[in-house]
Structure 1
Amino acid sequence: MSERRNWSWEDTLAAFALYFYLPSGQQTKQNKDVIALADAVGRTPSSVALKLGNIKAWDPMRSGKGLAHGSKLDAHVWEEYDAKGNELMQQAVSLLDARLGGTNAEGDEVGYLLVSVPEGHDRIVEATTRVNQSYFRNSLLENYNHQCCFTGMAIDTLLMASHIKPWAASDSREKVSPDNGLLLNALHDRAFDQGLMTIDELMRIRVSSTVPRDGSYNDWLWSFDKREMRLPTRMRPRRDFIEYHNDVIFKG
Structure 2
Amino acid sequence: MGKLREKMVEIAAFSNLIKQAVSDNDKLFDIIQSIKPETKDRLYNKYINSKGPVTSIRKDLASQLKEGSINRLAINQSFASGKKEFPKKFTQYKNLFSILYPFLTSEKNNLVYETFYDLTESLRIDLNIMSTTSVKTVAFDGARNTGSERVWFAIFNKNHQNQKTAKQLFLSFDDDYVWYALYDRPNDKILSSEREAVPEFKYGNVLSFFKEHVEVILKDTNGLINSSNIISAASTEEILFKNWLLDNHIQITRPEKYVSAVKTISNDLKGTIAIDSIYNIKDISELKKIQTLYNETPDLIAKNSRGNSMYSRALDLYIEYISDDQNTTSKDIIEIINNDQSPKEKEILILARIGQGQFRKKLIEIWNGCSISNYTDVSLLIASHIKPWCKCENHEKIDPNNGLLLLPNYDKLFDRGYISFDEDGFIIISKRLDKPEIFGITNNMNIELTEDNKRYMKYHREEVFK
TM-score exceeds 0.5: no
Higher strand share: 2
Higher helix share: 2
Normalised TM-score (structure 2): 0.25
